[in-house]
A and B are shown apart, each in its own frame.
Chain A
Amino acid sequence: QQPVQSPQAVILREGEDAVINCSSSKALYSVHWYRQKHGEAPVFLMILLKGGEQKGHDKISASFNEKKQQSSLYLTASQLSYSGTYFCGSEEGAQKLVFGQGTRLTINP
């Protein structure tokens, strides 16, 4: 079963912050985050492996709450280049990675 992402779409002005949530009805052993620009391949952002783990680079960070089976992606002081669709993915057994339905992020000047 696919993870569930919320919100489905977000529209921001440049410089504003955003949070994208990912939750699963199944146990989450790890969480992947990817970003896809229209018509392009998804690009890897980060993997969180342990409950309570937080990661970040530049102004994009994420957290992973293993007990709540949730992960959140935080985009701070958004830039135009952050626009795209964000996907979370979870591993269901060996090498089987399933993705959420995506969150479309639009950043306006």
Chain B
Amino acid sequence: DGGITQSPKYLFRKEGQNVTLSCEQNLNHDAMYWYRQDPGQGLRLIYYSQIVNDFQKGDIAEGYSVSREKKESFPLTVTSAQKNPTAFYLCASSSLATNEKLFFGSGTQLSVL
């Protein structure tokens, strides 16, 4: 079955450590997204990518980095520069046609030790 897989489901970060969240899709979608979810603040866009080897900053990109080396994969690294990383992270994808719906992964809960 086609879909988006995020891993791990839960992740703990020590202070000063970089951690990487995985996102893989087999929907043949060109566009991929990372959102951060905090209670009461909805979904905030971190990074998005429309094509391999290209990506754009969203509204809250500081302290995060991404890569898009393969169409199927869009990993997110939470760097030590992100001082408040505890949140629920959602990956999504869509086709490049205008106004296409997003398909979401099941999310990764990141917490700080």
Chain A: residues with CB nearer than 8 A to chain B?
2, 5, 8, 30, 32, 34, 39-44, 47, 49, 87, 89, 91, 94-102
Q: Which of B11-19, B39-47, B66-74, B75-83 contacts A (4 or more CB under 8 A)?
A: B39-47
- Contacts beyond the supplied A42-B102, A43-B104: 20 A-B pairs with Cβ under 8 Å: A2-B42, A5-B42, A8-B40, A32-B101, A39-B107, A41-B90, A41-B105, A47-B99, A47-B101, A91-B99, A94-B50, A95-B31, A95-B48, A96-B45, A97-B48, A97-B102, A98-B58, A99-B35, A99-B44, A101-B41
The answer to whether B20 has its CB under 8 Å from any CB of chain A is no
Q: Interface residue count for B (Cβ, 8 Å)?
A: 26
Scan B86-102; emit 1 where CB is below 8 A from any A CB, else 0: 00001000101011011
Residues from chain B with Cβ under 8 Å of A49 in the complex: 99
Residue from A30, A39, A42 in contact with B99 in the complex, judged by beta carbons closer than 8 Å: A30
Residues from chain A with Cβ under 8 Å of B40 in the complex: 8, 101-102
Question: A8 to B42, alpha carbons, bound, how many Å?
Answer: 10
Which residues in window 43-57 of B have CB below 8 A to A? 43-45, 48, 50, 56
Contact of A41 with B101 in the complex, beta carbons under 8 Å: no
B96 to A, closest residue via Cβ: A95
B41 to A, closest residue via Cβ: A101
The answer to whether B64 has its CB under 8 Å from any CB of chain A is no
